[in-house]
A and B are shown apart, each in its own frame.
Chain A
Amino acid sequence: MKRIALENLPKLYAAIAEKQSLILPVKKAGQTNFGLWTEEADVDLATLKTVKSAKDAFFPQSETLYTCQRDGKTLSLQPEKLEEEPFVVFGIKGCDVRGIQILDKVFLSEPVDSFYCARRKHGIIVSLACAAPEESCFCKVFGIDCAEPEGDVVTWIAEGYLYWKAATEKGEALTAQVADLLEDADTAAVDAQKAAIAAIVEKLPYANLSLEGWNGKVLNEKFNSPLWEQLYKPCLACGTCTFVCPTCQCYDIKDYNTGNGVQRYRCWDSCMYSDFTMMAHGNNRTSQLQRFRQRFMHKLVYFPANNDGAYSCVGCGRCVEKCPSHLNIVKVIKAFEKEGK
């Protein structure tokens, strides 16, 4: 275990950024999101949840896949380069780390997504333990320990210091890069914090949410439930829940006409949108009920069915906080529970 005094963090950021780009929570116009570190960046580790998850670092909201350049009647095709440089994502919470692991199941299984894969290969995750979980958190439900997240390096903020523990080879290498700035430390402060967090997590309102009855085998039963008819009604069909979610992985592929060619890019899609999975013949989900159901069925039924029972939800609680109509996965789970499944 190593540590660095909090007031020296800017030096740590600078040291990391010297060798590779550094992505971390930055406050801009009153909101904190993951962003590139610069001298001027307003780094914000105090906000528990960034608005968007850290997903962007590996699976950006939009990215160019290739470019067609037109010259007269000839076209030249230029594939977008894959990530080749290492980069560090600092300050990821335990839930978001799990989110990335869920994305891995999608993008790293065959056929492997080369863009994602390259970023995963070059990205170094420095996670940060939660010091003060909030009422919307329910990561415990998914077996996540927010006090001891996974990552290449795990860090804690306690008693004026950032505690630093390398957990993988990548982590060790990064630690070596910044060794000058770190000092050795015992684990007392970290242990004390873990214990305190454990107690708080127990008291969180959704800590003991039951996922009983949600698995890959209940497809028809859940799909045909009349409950959806009521649940979807307040849904505005916006993409907020999808876009703040660390695990939502659907994307759309579109072309942008630059005047002299076309940039083909992909961007996050939302199953809440009316044109989600729109095809030439039309749409296979014509109503908002169907689209709403898709989101929850995917996270709690289809995904576990294809991924050894793993849910595609990490309990970060962002959708709980951000839904304009106060709808969320918790309410859905509870509604089914109340109806006796």
Chain B
Amino acid sequence: MSINNEFRPKIVAFCCNWCSYAGADLAGSSRLAYPADVKIIRVPCSCRVNPMFILRAFEKGADGVILCGCHPGDCHYSTGNYYARRRMTLLFSMLDYMGVENGRTRVEWVSAAEGVKFSTTMNEFVEKIRSLGENVRLGDLRCKN
């Protein structure tokens, strides 16, 4: 999507309910701005995020996907983010292996207290995606029109 020729990426952020979604809330209540390109989907835990959701987002036109969860060791469900960490590491590695720009995916651990980190991370990520430009390697052409 572009407005006035400026590239406005579509970014999906999966946030776990207990830490990162709360971190995003804190960023909000602290008025720590980040671009509106980021849209958050609440999931109970980072381990709920199926690689298929991430690929699906790219298919449907997302330019970047970020997954945020509790810091390792702090998972509300004690171990969920450890599984998420392995899954995402392997998935990202595979995407990289297939020639998809590796900056399009990211995992960041953001606690409920880290509003600043949430906002900084999102600012960085949007900047990165803007520098990478539109996602052409994983999109489905049918969704472009």
Interface residues of A (CB under 8 A from B): 256, 258-259, 263
Contacts and interface: CB of A to CB of B under 8 A. Distances in A.
Contacts of A259: 60-61, 143
A310 B145 CA distance: 44
Contacts of A256: 142
Interface in B116-145: 142-143, 145
B143 to A, nearest CB: 5
Name, among A256, A259, A263, the residue most crowded by chain B CB atoms within 10 Å (CB to CB).
Answer: A259
A265 to B, nearest CB: 9
Interface in B20-79: 60-61
Nearest to A64: B142
B140 to A, nearest CB: 8
Given A256-B142, A258-B145, A263-B142, 5 more contacts: A258-B142, A258-B143, A259-B60, A259-B61, A259-B143
Nearest to A265: B142
Contacts of B142: 256, 258, 263
A327 B136 CA distance: 41
Interface of B: 60-61, 142-143, 145
Contacts of B143: 258-259
A256 B143 CA distance: 9
Contacts of A258: 142-143, 145
8 contacts: A256-B142, A258-B142, A258-B143, A258-B145, A259-B60, A259-B61, A259-B143, A263-B142
A259 B143 CA distance: 7
A310 B142 CA distance: 39
B24 to A, nearest CB: 24
A256 B142 CA distance: 8
A285 to B, nearest CB: 29
A258 B145 CA distance: 8
6 shortest A-B CB distances, which residue pairs? A258-B143, A258-B142, A259-B143, A259-B60, A263-B142, A256-B142
A81 B61 CA distance: 25
B137 to A, nearest CB: 17
Nearest to A256: B142
A256 B59 CA distance: 12
A77 to B, nearest CB: 15
A114 to B, nearest CB: 22
B55 to A, nearest CB: 15
Nearest to B144: A258
Contacts of B61: 259
A119 B133 CA distance: 39
B44 to A, nearest CB: 25
B139 to A, nearest CB: 11
A259 B141 CA distance: 12
A259 B61 CA distance: 9
Name, among B60, B142, B143, the residue most crowded by chain A CB atoms within 10 Å (CB to CB).
Answer: B142
Contacts of A263: 142
A259 B142 CA distance: 9
Contacts of B145: 258
B130 to A, nearest CB: 22
A259 B60 CA distance: 7
Contacts of B60: 259
A263 B145 CA distance: 11
A263 B60 CA distance: 14
A263 B141 CA distance: 12
A125 to B, nearest CB: 29
A212 to B, nearest CB: 49
Nearest to A262: B142
A258 B140 CA distance: 9
B138 to A, nearest CB: 15
A25 B16 CA distance: 51
Nearest to A69: B145
A122 to B, nearest CB: 24
A139 B81 CA distance: 59
A152 B140 CA distance: 37
A95 B35 CA distance: 60
A69 B145 CA distance: 10
Nearest to B142: A258
A84 to B, nearest CB: 21
A256 B145 CA distance: 13
A61 to B, nearest CB: 15
A316 B92 CA distance: 43
A220 to B, nearest CB: 46
